[in-house]
Amino acid sequence: MPSARCLPIPRVGRVSLVLVTILLAYAGTPATSAAQPSRPDDPLSVVDTFLATRNAGDYWAAAGVCAALLELQDADDSWFVERATTSDWLRQLTATYLLDTLVAPSAHGTTVRWTERLTPRNMRFPEALGSSMTIEVSAVVLNGKIANLSAPYPPLPLARPSGGVPGERSGSEVSNTTVAPVTMFVVSALVLTLTALLIAGGASAAGALSRRRRPRPAGAQALRP
């Protein structure tokens, strides 16, 4: 019988065998260089949560991503606003403009920047698109919260609701209602003090006058030398 001999493996088969071996070895090795998931307090994750909740219409949750006292800067000025005011401002912003993110947020340390387009909602499509504005937004994230939100947003009235619940009262109204009782108390205290002083002064003056005008006894005569 002819002796058995090994048949040569074609070159393509050898290459395929090597590739399969490498793939099996790689699949059995744990991926140590896999990307780690970002932390919830990471600045970029915080801004992503803020934008997602704002765009979904959950303004109270979006304001909760911000600091308890947020520094808000628009095209006119900057203010420190609490959560209820931030929530109401976001509601007004999204009710007035259609917000589109043109450039996705990117983190630079604790600062996150992105670009938005604001399109007025009270206009039809061609006119609204022509009146739209593109702005760059900057957010500073500290301790997992947005501490500063800055962009040339069009000015909107800032509501100052009481009790921590979103409302419609303006800051001047709340300021007036807060200062008025204190002013009334001070004025009332001054009036009462002046009235007491006048009564006491009048009583002492009346007593002195009565002593001055008191008649001498009938039998009393001044002794003369």
Q: What is the CATH number of domain 43-154?
A: 3.10.450.50
Q: Which residues pair with 103 in a beta bridge?
A: 115
Q: How confident is the model at residue 162 (pLDDT cuts 50, 70, 90)?
A: low
At 50, is the secondary structure helix, strand, or coil? Answer: helix
pLDDT of residue 102: 95
Instruction: Report the mean per-residue pLDDT for the chain.
Output: 74
**In the predicted structure, residue 126 carries a pLDDT above the cut 80:** no
Q: Could you state, in order of their start, the residue ranges of all structural domains in the chain? A: 43-154
3-state secondary structure of 76: coil
Ranges 157-161, 164-168, 206-210, most confident: 157-161
Task: Kindly give the pairing relationship between strand 97-108 and strand 133-142.
Answer: unpaired
pLDDT higher for 202 or 26? 202
Three-state DSSP class for residue 210: helix
User: CB of 69 within 8 A of CB of 81?
Assistant: yes
pLDDT at 22: 57
Spell out the SS3 assignment of 110-177.
Answer: CEEEEEEEEEECCCCHHHHHHCCEEEEEEEEEECCEEEEEECCCCCCCCECCCCCCCCCCEHHHHHHH
- Residues 183-193: tens digit of each pLDDT: 555 456 665 66
